[in-house]
Amino acid sequence: MDVSRLFALALVPAAGLALLSPAAVAAGGADCAVALGCIVGVQDTAPGQGNVTPQQRAFGLLGRAHAFAAAGNGDRAIADLDEAIRLDPSLADAFIGRGTLLHQRGDDARALIDLSEAVRLAPDNAMAHSNLGDILQAQRDSDRAIAEYDRAIGLDPRLADAYAGRGVATASKGDNLRAIADYTAAIKLAAPNAPALHNRGVSYVAVGDLDRAAADFTAAIAASPVSARTYFNRGFIYARRGDLAAAITDFTSAIRFDSKAADAYLLRGIAALYTGDEMTALKDINLSAQLAPNQALPALWVAIVSGRTSQLTAFAARAGTVAWPGPVVDLFLGQATPEALLAAADAQAGPGRARQICQANFYAGQLKLLEDAAQEAVPLLERAASDCPPTLLEWFAAKAELKGLQSATTVR
């Protein structure tokens, strides 16, 4: 969990990898999925008996594997695909199906072998290229993934999964405008396509179009109201807008669908803090720290809400404080000065510099509040509110803190 960059981890996979190519479905795979045993005698007839060839039996097993997978029985599906490949090692769709299931189980090394073999056997199979692209993207090989998606789209310009997958790959390279175009194509080809809507929302956030992002997250939720990450992302947009009640509702939904979502507990706790509910805030932020003991931000927020630094001390002992935001931890533990913290943040080169300066100002300001030095805290918080990238939680937290200070009714 790195909630300092809330949307960096928000991409969900493209629409689910298919087990059967359109050609296989057209040849009878869909009927087989219903019958759990099509192509005469799949269940009982041995190869060579009853005029059933090994190739016919292999294709029947392919269809039954699809049905088992659809029913959630991955073990039986893989067993059928193993046997299908043994009977007919040239059956590309069996390699596609097994590679897909292995990928879903996290065995990308074997999945890559299967999808590569599928492409070798059927170089004109668009789905084989698209699913191979998904495996490569899971391994963060975005350039090769994009090349496979390009081949898939060239072979089948109506393959929605290929556009959705290419969107993920191009977004991971920072090309969010191209990603938006690909997600839009995927949505048009296979509406409503909740994963593509979600991912397009993430890319809209990246280009600063939060209204369209919120609309996409809302549409994704309407299409598939069980995605914790989509509720979380929309909740953060609500928090940025200052609608903390709506944000809390969405963070609660995220937690309902993912009870171990440490970032959702943390953001719900922060939103509760700035609505004056300190008890809920401390409870949620403590839960976040327990769920993510190797992350500094929940422990920092425990210190902000309660004044206690025991979790920060434990974090420093486990993870050290050399890497950012370790210097912020040192500040709260009295082992660094605000000046030293700001110098450490400013020394960072590259795109991380703005984030670190933002966090240095914000957390230095929070420490000043804990020390009852509000006059010294305000300029630091104002700099955070002005200079923080808006996708950081510290941006909206600084604005909420300043609002409380300006009204002379802080939430502490």
Amino acid identity of residue 72, one-letter, is G
Q: What is the pLDDT of residue 7?
A: 41
Q: Confidence band (pLDDT; 50, 70, 90) for 19?
A: low
Greater confidence, 162 or 4? 162
Q: Confidence band (pLDDT; 50, 70, 90) for 25?
A: very low
Q: Is residue 251 pLDDT above 70, yes or no? A: yes
Tell me the average pLDDT across 54-73.
94
Q: Confidence band (pLDDT; 50, 70, 90) for 3?
A: very low
Greater confidence, 88 or 406? 88
Query: By percentage, how much of the chain surpasses pLDDT 90?
Result: 82
For residue range 89-143, list pLDDT tens digits in order. 999 999 999 999 999 999 999 999 999 999 999 999 999 999 999 999 999 999 9
Q: What is the pLDDT of residue 351?
A: 77
How much is the mean pLDDT over the chain?
89
Q: Is residue 272 pLDDT above 50, yes or no? A: yes
- Of residues 178, 174, 123, 122, the one with CA closest to residue 151: 123
Q: Are 204 and 213 in contact (CB under 8 A)?
A: yes
Asked if domains 226-276 and 293-406 share a fold, the reply is yes
- Alpha-carbon Rg of the chain, whole angstroms? 26
The answer to whether the Cα torsion of 351, 352, 354, 355 is positive or negative is: positive
Residue 194 gets which letter from DSSP?
A: H
How many other C-beta atoms can be found within 10 angstroms of the C-beta atom of residue 190? 17
Q: How far is CA 112 from CA 98, 129, 141, in A?
A: 10, 11, 12
For residue range 184-232, list pLDDT tens digits in order. 999 999 999 999 999 999 999 999 899 999 999 999 999 999 999 999 9
Tell me the average pLDDT across 284-296.
96
Q: Is residue 30 pLDDT above 60, yes or no? A: no
For residue range 338-381, list pLDDT tens digits in order. 999 999 999 877 778 999 999 999 999 999 999 999 999 999 99
Greater confidence, 39 or 234? 234
Q: What is the fold, at CATH topology level, of the domain defined by 293-406?
A: 1.25.40
For residue range 7-17, list pLDDT tens digits in order. 433 455 554 44
The 3-state DSSP class for residue 31 equals helix
Rounded to whole angstroms, how far apart are CA atoms 44 and 29? Answer: 19
For the chain, domain boundaries = 22-187, 226-276, 293-406
CATH of 226-276, one of 3.30.460.80, 3.50.50.60, 1.25.40.10, 1.25.40.340: 1.25.40.10
Q: What is the fold, at CATH topology level, of the domain defined by 22-187?
A: 1.25.40
The residues near 376 (Cβ < 8 Å, ≥ 6 apart) are 368
Q: What is the pLDDT of residue 24?
A: 53
How many other C-beta atoms can be found within 10 angstroms of the C-beta atom of residue 212? 16
Q: What is the pLDDT of residue 391?
A: 86
